[in-house]
Chains A and B, each alone.
Chain A
Amino acid sequence: MCCDRFRARVGPDRPTRFLLVSVLRDEDQTTSCIRVPLNGRRAEAIRDRAAYLQSIRHKLGLKKNDTDPGRKLVGPDRRVLAVAVDSEGQLLGVAVTQETLRENGYDLRPQTYLKAVEERRVLDSPATLLAQIRQNQAKLIDRIDGLFGRLDMAPIAGQKIPPPVWRDAAGDPRPIGKLSEDQERVWARVVEQVDRVEQGNDPYETPKPFTAEDVQSGGGQAAAATRFTLTLLEKMGLIVPMTVSPEGAGERAFYYRLASDRERDQTTADEPERDSK
Chain B
Amino acid sequence: MKLRRLYLRDYRVLRDLEIQFQPGFGGGEIAPSYALDFLVGLNGSGKSTVIQAIAEIFRKLEASAPVPFIFELEYSIGAGGDERRVVVQNHSAGESAPDKPGELRVYVSGQEAKWSNDLLPSVIVAFTTGNEDEWLRVREPAEENASTASDMSAEQRAVRELPGWGDRIKSPDAEAESGASRFRLMRHNELSLVTLCGLLEFLRQDHVGAEGLARVLRHSSIERVCGYSLRLRLNPGLAGPTVQEDFDRLQRFADRALRLGSDRLLVYDLTSDATTKARALLEEFGSGFDLFKTLSKLQRAAVEAERSLQEVNVFLERTPGIAEEGGEPESSPLHLLEWLSDGEQSFLGRMCLFTLLRQPDALILLDEPEVHFNDYWKRQIVSLLDGVLRGSQSHVLITTHSSIALSDVPREDIVILDRPGTYTVRSRSPKMATLGADPSDIMVHVFGAPHAAGQRAVSHILERIEADSPADQRRRQLERLRGQVGPGYWSYRIRRALMALEQPS
Q: Chain A: residues with CB nearer than 8 A to chain B?
A: 138, 141-142, 145-146, 148-154, 173, 175-183, 225, 228-229, 231-232, 235-237, 240, 259, 263-270
Contacts and interface: CB of A to CB of B under 8 A. Distances in A.
A175 B259 CA distance: 18
Contacts of A150: 261
> A142, A181, A231, A265 — which one has the most chain B CB atoms within 10 A of its CB?
A265
Contacts of A231: 336
A180 B261 contact: no
B254 interface: yes
Interface in B246-276: 251-252, 254, 256-265, 267, 269-271
Interface stretch (B147-155, B309-317, B443-451): B309-317
A21 B325 CA distance: 98
A149 B263 contact: yes
B224 A177 contact: yes
Contacts of A237: 229, 256, 258, 265, 267
Interface string B226-238: 1101000111100
Interface string B203-239: 0000000000000000000001011010001111000
A177 B222 CA distance: 13
B334 A264 contact: no
B331 A235 contact: no
Nearest to B234: A152
B323 interface: no
Interface of B: 224, 226-227, 229, 233-236, 251-252, 254, 256-265, 267, 269-271, 303, 305, 311, 313, 315-317, 331-334, 336, 339
Contacts of A182: 333
B146 to A, nearest CB: 32
A152 B236 contact: yes
Contact of B236 (A148, A176, A265): A148
A229 B335 CA distance: 9
Contact of B259 (A146, A154, A236): A154
A246 B254 CA distance: 35
B333 A176 contact: no
Going nearest first, the 9 A-B pairs with the smallest beta carbon separation are: A149-B261, A177-B226, A176-B227, A265-B257, A235-B313, A180-B333, A268-B257, A263-B258, A148-B262
B271 A176 contact: yes
Contacts of A178: 226, 317, 331, 334
A259 B265 CA distance: 12
A268 B251 contact: yes
A151 to B, nearest CB: 7
Contact of A177 (B258, B261, B265, B317): B317
> A142, A148, A182, A235 — which one has the most chain B CB atoms within 10 A of its CB?
A235
A218 B229 CA distance: 31
B334 to A, nearest CB: 5
Contact of A180 (B234, B252, B332): B332
Given A176-B271, A228-B333, 9 more contacts: A138-B305, A141-B303, A149-B262, A152-B236, A176-B269, A183-B333, A229-B333, A264-B257, A268-B256
A46 B234 CA distance: 57
6 contacts: A228-B339, A232-B334, A236-B229, A263-B260, A264-B259, A265-B251
Contacts, number: 105
Nearest to A240: B260
B336 A235 contact: yes
A175 B257 CA distance: 15
Contact of B333 (A151, A153, A179, A240): A179
> A145, A150, A153, A240 — which one has the most chain B CB atoms within 10 A of its CB?
A145
Nearest to A149: B261
A103 B333 CA distance: 96
B497 to A, nearest CB: 58
A143 B90 CA distance: 54
B334 A183 contact: yes
Nearest to B311: A235
Given A148-B235, A176-B267, A142 B259 contact: no
> B226, B251, B332, B334 — which one has the most chain A CB atoms within 10 A of its CB?
B334
A232 B314 CA distance: 10
A259 to B, nearest CB: 6
Contacts of A263: 258-260
A148 B259 CA distance: 12
Contacts of B258: 237, 240, 259, 263-265
A237 B311 CA distance: 13
A264 B254 CA distance: 13
Contacts of A225: 333
> B226, B258, B305, B331 — which one has the most chain A CB atoms within 10 A of its CB?
B258
A116 to B, nearest CB: 38
Contacts of B254: 268
A222 to B, nearest CB: 15
Nearest to B223: A178
Nearest to A229: B333
Contacts of B265: 235, 237
Contacts of B257: 264-265, 267-268
> A179, A180, A181, A228 — which one has the most chain B CB atoms within 10 A of its CB?
A180
Contacts of B262: 145, 148-149, 152
A31 B421 CA distance: 103
Contacts of B332: 180
A153 B336 CA distance: 29
Contacts of A153: 259, 261
Contact of B305 (A145, A152, A240, A269): A145
Contacts of B303: 141
A94 to B, nearest CB: 47
Contacts of B252: 269
A175 B334 contact: yes
B334 A177 contact: yes
B308 to A, nearest CB: 13
Nearest to A242: B260
A150 B236 CA distance: 11
A188 to B, nearest CB: 15
Contacts of A152: 234, 236, 259, 261-262
A181 B261 contact: no
Contacts of A240: 258, 260
A196 B236 CA distance: 35
Contacts of B256: 173, 237, 268, 270
Contacts of A175: 334
A232 B315 contact: yes
A232 B305 contact: no
Nearest to B253: A269
